[in-house]
Chains A and B, each alone.
Chain A
Amino acid sequence: MHYSPEPLHIPDGFLSVPISILMWVVSALVVSYALRQVNRDMGERQVPLMGVLAAAIFAGQMLNFAVGGGTSGHLMGAALAAILLGPWAAMLVLTTVVGVQALIFQDGGLLVLGANTFNMAVVGVAVATMAYQTALKLSGGRKWGAFAGAFIAAWLSTEIASLAVALQLAISGTSPANIAVPAMAVVHALIGVGEGLITVGAVAFVYAARPDLLQAGEARQEGKSASRGGRAVWVAGLLLALGLAVASPLASSNPDGLEWVAEQGGFLDTARGSLYQVIPDYLLPGISNQTLATILAGVIGVLIVFCVVVGVAYLRRNRQPEESR
């Protein structure tokens, strides 16, 4: 069994620094609020339950089934966790999963961990909660409503999370919106079907084996238990889903507008410009041609560092036989 990275986890280097920091701030705020809510709801049971369930989601992501044509359906688990645990606990579980994937398995970067947490734990869970709760309300809490809601929640959360990824890439100037948004949307519309089918299967299983768990999850989603904010999550999920669904095609058809946002947001470029003006003609002493000085400085630096690397490697090699003796 090999560990395979997920297509939704952005590695380091793909998001601009302002976007990464903004996403860190948003995720930190939401996760610390979720920590408090879950602590109020579950008390001292929180740590073992959240930890073990995060491990279960991680293990469940290894699960696949053949779709045909050599492809396979996978489980990501945001919707399943939201349905069974309620929004706040699901956010904590997914934050833990995403964090361990980045720290241990380099699946997703560390600087962009805030963005990945936002996409998977905040957007994924909020949208899934909104969709599932709406389906339950419309069906009057019947069985088919729960199953249809599970499928819609899983599909929609996958799709909207992928749009969030595409928009972050576009605002960072890494991927043009008119290519990234349709590509992500189409690919994840298919991936979402696999996610949806597995989620329905899992919900059907839990419905047969432990219906009390599903009811407890529903109570948490509607905010009837000690934790509050069930309605706030529903509204946030709706706003995120609508906002991203509307913003993505707009950005995709007007990539210039997004570029403008990127330029406005790029305070680093501004900072760089002013720094550059303070010392407009910085030269290496003794060399009048700036290009030449630049190249020379670089070459000298590279040479020095490579010498250090080679020297260190040489020293280590010499020391090792002594240690083993």
Chain B
Amino acid sequence: MHVHFLDPYRPRRSPVHSLDGRVKLVLALAFIFSVALTPSGAWPVYILLFSLVLCAEVISDLGVRYVLKRSLLAFPFVLAALPVIFTTSGAAALELTLGPWTLAITQPGLERFLSIACKSWISVQAAVVLAASTPFPDLLAAMRAIHVPRLLVAIFSLMWRYLFVLVDEALRLMRARAARSARSADPALKVGGSLAWRARVAGGIAGSLFLRAIERSDRIYMAMVSRGYDGEVRLMPSPGLRPVHWAILLSGLAVLAFLLLAAYLFWA
């Protein structure tokens, strides 16, 4: 079993895919930053921002359904913001009686909660488009271009290179455990040992995964040294941005700045 399906990159031929990774990373970060800066309750701006990301989804040919499905990944976290509906002070919009308690849903609270949920949802979509339309090596080059430390970028790239190998390793270990864990057809028969025993087995798997990773990194290091690695991380210099990409980058930033300005002027 291999886990190549973990890689979220979806190769397509689209203007978004062929856009320079650096432009995409900066635009995605600026977009998420703008979403975060938009005051709560500025609904028209949210709709405009949503339209922007929807545009990117359509142009990128990824399929709106795919992006929306992936964007629901962060959805459970919305629970954390649910209590603000009741605790924000303001005029009560609706009162719920649950036995001895009375919960009042306030209007500012509801507005705040919906704003948080919308912001989160729109931001995740931008991140999904970025990851699905940019191969990871391009993202690494983009990280280097925005001055993430060189060593950290090198560690990221090595992690990505061996991620699939080690996930396969973990899956093999877990398959071995499953193969040795018989289950009785009789539901009354208790199997699987005690909780502490199961935890120790899982811990053993984690420990041997760790040891195998350390030993593998030794072999990788030897292979790197024998090919001339001297501790210096050398990355391909990335060519300068083409004028078209500069234009796209600047106009994208201008649109975001304009939206933010509008949000503060009209709906703050």
Q: Point out residues on A near B: beta carbons under 8 Å.
A: 1, 3, 5, 7, 10-14, 16-17, 20, 31-32, 35, 39, 43-56, 58-60, 62-68, 73, 75, 77, 80, 84, 92, 95-97, 99-100, 102-107, 109-111, 169, 173-176, 179-180, 194, 197-206, 209-210, 213, 255, 268, 272, 275-276, 279, 282, 294, 297-299, 301-302, 305-306, 308-309, 312-313, 316, 323
Which of chain A's residues has its CB closest to B204's CB?
A205
Residue pair A73, B209 in contact (C-beta under 8 Å): no
Interface of B toward A, CB cutoff 8 Å: 3, 6-8, 13-14, 28-29, 32-33, 35-37, 39, 43-44, 47-48, 51-52, 54-55, 58-59, 61, 70-71, 73-74, 76-77, 80-81, 83-84, 87, 112, 116-124, 127-128, 131, 136, 139, 149, 151-152, 154-163, 165-167, 169-171, 174, 192, 195-196, 198-214, 216-217, 220-221, 224-225, 229-231, 233, 262, 264-268
Report B-chain residues with C-beta under 8 Å of the C-beta of A202: 203-204, 206-207, 210
Minimum distance in angstroms from A162 CB to a CB of chain B: 11
Q: What are 11 A-to-B residue pairs whose CB atoms are below 8 Å?
A: A17-B37, A51-B154, A55-B162, A65-B199, A80-B210, A96-B156, A105-B131, A174-B81, A175-B84, A205-B203, A205-B206
Given the interface contacts A51-B157, A272-B264, does A60 sit within 8 Å of B210 by beta carbon? yes
**B residues in contact with A54, CB < 8 Å:** 155, 159
Inside 8 A of B83's CB, which chain A residues have their CB?
Answer: 175-176, 179-180
Chain A positions within 8 Å of B266 at CB level = 282, 294, 297-298
Q: Which residues of B have CB within 8 Å of A209?
A: 207-208, 211
**A199:B203 contact, CB within 8 angstroms:** yes
Known contacts A44-B229, A313-B58; A175 and B80 CB within 8 A of each other: yes
A313 CA / B61 CA spacing, docked (Å): 9
Contacting pair A48 B217 (CB below 8 A): yes
B163 and A55 within 8 A (CB)? yes
- CB pair A55 B213 closer than 8 Å: yes
A106 touches which one: B74, B119, B162, B192 (CB < 8 A)? B74
CA distance A306 to B32 in the complex (A): 20
**Complex Cα distance A205/B8, Å?**
34
Total A-B pairs, Cβ < 8 A: 326
- Give every chain A residue within 8 A of B220 (Cβ-Cβ): 48, 52
Q: Is the CB of A176 within 8 A of B58?
A: no
Question: Which residues of chain B have C-beta atoms less than 8 A from A62's C-beta?
Answer: 167, 170-171, 174
Chain B residues with CB below 8 A from A302, complex form = 44, 47-48, 51
CB distance from B261 to the nearest CB of A (A): 9
Q: Which residues of A contact B52 (CB under 8 A)?
A: 305
With A and B bound together, what is the CA distance between A11 and B151 in angstroms? Answer: 26
Could you tell me the distance between the alpha carbons of A202 and B208 in the complex, rounded to whole angstroms?
8
- The answer to whether A51 touches B48 (Cβ under 8 A) is no
Overall SS of chain A's interface: helix
A318 to chain B, nearest CB (A): 13
Q: Check A48–B208 contact: CB distance below 8 A.
A: no
Best-surrounded residue of B159, B216, B265 (most CB of chain A within 10 A) = B159
**Chain A residues within an 8 Å CB radius of B211:** 205-206, 209-210, 213
- Asked whether, in the complex, the Cβ of A12 is within 8 Å of the Cβ of B119, the reply is yes
Alpha-carbon distance A192/B176, docked complex (angstroms): 26
Instruction: For the A-B complex with A44-B221, A106-B124, A301-B44 known, give 20 more contacts whose Cβ atoms are closer than 8 Å.
Output: A12-B119, A13-B118, A14-B81, A39-B151, A44-B229, A45-B217, A51-B162, A59-B209, A65-B202, A66-B192, A96-B159, A100-B163, A109-B32, A111-B33, A201-B206, A204-B204, A204-B207, A205-B204, A205-B207, A298-B44
| A111 lies within 8 A of B32 (CB) | yes
B59 cross-chain contacts in A, Cβ below 8 A: 312, 316
Q: Is the CB of B158 within 8 A of A51?
A: yes
Which residue of chain B is the closest to A38 with respect to CB atoms?
B151
Which chain A positions have C-beta within 8 A of B154? 47, 51
The answer to whether A309 and B203 touch across the interface, beta carbons within 8 angstroms, is: no
With CB as the reference atom, state the residue of chain A lying closest to B136: A104
Q: Is the beta-carbon distance between B195 and A67 smaller than 8 angstroms?
A: yes
Determine if B151 and A48 form an interchain contact, defined as CB atoms under 8 angstroms apart: no
Do the beta carbons of A47 and B264 come within 8 Å of each other? Answer: no
Q: Point out the residues of chain A lying under 8 angstroms from B165, CB to CB.
A: 55
Contact in complex: B47, A13 (CB < 8 Å): no
- Is the CB–CB distance between B206 and A14 below 8 Å? no
Partner of B166, one of A17, A58, A103, A276: A58
- Residues on the A chain within 8 Å of B205, using CB: 63
Q: Name which residue of chain B comes closest to A64, CB basis.
A: B202
Residues of A with C-beta under 8 A to B131: 103-106
Q: Which residue of B lies closest to A272 (CB)?
A: B268
B122's nearest neighbour on chain A, judged by CB, is A13
Of chain A, the residue at the smallest CB distance from B173 is A63
Asked whether B124 lies within 8 Å of A52 as measured between CB atoms, the reply is: no
B264 to chain A, nearest CB (A): 6
Contact among A104, A198, A201, A316 with B8 in the assembled complex (CB-CB below 8 Å): A104
A11 touches B198 (CB 8 A): no
Q: Which residues of chain B are within 8 angstroms of A32 by Cβ–Cβ distance?
A: 149
